[in-house]
């Protein structure tokens, strides 16, 4: 008995000894927010850590939590798919910049329908999520999909249970294309959903759609591909049915005038263009303009600088659209406005 006690104590001491080898607290940067870019951020962070030893730790907790946490200062940077307006940024002392763009994709789990086969338009999509269209073989859906044999299967809506920038982008689109949606539900990170079960994070929705027959949900494109979910074709403003893919996201972003957007506030939903994907969005990082810890700020900026120059390949592989060079120039210019408490610039 005594011997076992000594063994336990020495084991504990050994563990504590292991802990003390590298005190690198200044090098672990913590960010939290959108689950939209979680795959690309964790990939970038891993590669960056391999290269420089600096640890960027990202918590996928949803845009709502990301905004709340950075405002409450319990993380080093926040991440959100919903861009904050300039007035709100100024009020909180935050600056914001986009990192990547991607598409929000409605995904389905309907027997007999494969990826990219089902066509939907904006009215039908809004009605499905409002619970007005209840079966997959509904007249409206069948009308535009004459070549498909649609089963008489109940539509099971899956949406987000947490406050989400992905939801914000999706409901922004629905509010633009459906006045009924705009009035009844509106545009927000979290809304009063008329129907459906909630999944936590993009991952929760993807997992639920995968499991539940007749399900329809909305996720960031990388999640749709990784989970091997069936995406749809959506009718864009120009009247064309487009598939979600990097080229259609790029088409939507092509005409965006970033230089005229204060605080980089840009919403890419329902953009014109023959090939444009209607539910495109950028995702943003939120940082304080006045940094109390300049070393942390420098590390964050170094990291994202590295991702702009070296991360394009990883981003494209995961089906995100990198920011165009012209925008990166503007972003770096914006970084020059970040200062420490004494007024010294952190980035030059």
CA distance 78 to 347: 19
CB of 42 to other proteins, least distance (A): 4
Nearest approach in angstroms of CB 34 to other proteins is 12
Point out which residues pair with 119 in neighbouring strands. 233
- Interface residue with other proteins among 227, 247, 261, 316 (CB under 8 A) is 227
According to CB under 8 A, which residues from 49 to 68 bind other proteins?
Answer: 49, 55, 57, 59-62, 64-65, 67-68
Beta-strand pair 215-220/290-291:
unpaired
Does residue 223 belong to the site contacting other proteins (CB under 8 A)?
Answer: yes
Supply the DSSP string of 113-171, one letter for each residue. Answer: --TTT-EE-HHHHHHHHTTS--BTT-HHHHHH-TTS-----B-EEEEESS--HHHHHHH
- We find the least distance from the C-beta atom of residue 320 to other proteins, in angstroms, to be 13
Tell which one of 100, 130, 190, 234 touches other proteins (CB under 8 A): 190
23 binds other proteins (CB under 8 A): yes
Cβ(106)–Cβ(126) below 8 Å:
no
As a dihedral over the C-alpha atoms of residue 118, residue 318, residue 220, residue 306, rounded to 10 degrees, the angle is -150
Q: How far is the CB of 223 from other proteins (least distance, A)?
A: 5
Question: Restricting to residues 248-307, which ones interact with other proteins according to CB under 8 A?
Answer: none
Among 196, 278, 281, 311, binds other proteins (CB under 8 A): 196
Q: Report which secondary-structure segment, H or E, holds 76.
A: none
When binding is defined by CB under 8 A, the residue of 110, 191, 267, 315 that contacts other proteins is 191
**Residue of 182, 210, 243, 329 interacting with other proteins (CB under 8 A):** 210
Identify the residue among 84, 89, 100, 207 touching other proteins (CB under 8 A).
207
- Tell me which residues in 156-175 interact with other proteins (CB under 8 A): 156, 158, 161-163
């Amino acid at each position: 008995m005594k011997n076992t006690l000594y063994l336990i104590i020495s084991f504990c001491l050994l563990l504590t000894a292991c802990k003390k080898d590298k005190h690198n607290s200044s090098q672990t940067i913590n960010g939290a927010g959108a689950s939209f870019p979680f795959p690309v951020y964790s990939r970038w962070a891993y590669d960056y850590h391999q290269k420089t030893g600096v640890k960027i730790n990202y918590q996928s907790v949803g845009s709502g939590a990301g905004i709340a946490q950075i405002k409450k200062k319990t993380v080093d940077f926040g991440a959100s798919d919903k861009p904050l307006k300039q007035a709100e940024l100024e009020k909180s002392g935050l600056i914001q910049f986009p990192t990547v763009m991607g598409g929000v994709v409605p995904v389905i789990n309907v027997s007999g329908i494969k990826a990219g086969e089902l066509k939907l338009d904006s009215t039908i999509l809004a009605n499905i999520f409002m619970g007005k269209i209840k079966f997959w073989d509904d007249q409206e859906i069948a009308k535009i999909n004459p070549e498909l044999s649609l089963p008489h299967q109940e539509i099971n809506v899956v949406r987000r249970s947490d406050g989400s920038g992905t939801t914000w982008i999706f409901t922004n689109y629905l509010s633009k294309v459906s006045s009924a949606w705009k009035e009844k539900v509106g545009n927000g990170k979290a809304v009063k959903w008329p129907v459906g079960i909630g999944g936590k994070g993009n991952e929760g929705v993807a997992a639920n759609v995968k499991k539940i027959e007749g399900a329809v949900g909305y996720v960031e494109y990388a999640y749709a591909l990784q989970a091997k979910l069936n995406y749809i074709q959506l009718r864009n403003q120009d009247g064309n049915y487009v598939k979600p893919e990097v080229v259609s996201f790029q088409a939507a972003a092509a005409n965006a005038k970033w230089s005229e957007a204060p605080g980089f506030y840009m919403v890419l939903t329902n953009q014109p263009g023959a090939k444009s994907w209607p539910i495109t969005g950028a995702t943003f990082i939120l940082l304080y303009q006045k940094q109390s810890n300049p070393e942390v700020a420098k590390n964050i900026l170094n990291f994202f600088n590295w991702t702009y120059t070296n991360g394009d390949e990883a981003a494209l592989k995961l089906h995100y659209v990198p920011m165009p060079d012209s925008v990166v120039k503007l972003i770096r210019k914006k970084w020059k406005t970040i200062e420490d408490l004494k007024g010294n610039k952190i980035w030059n």
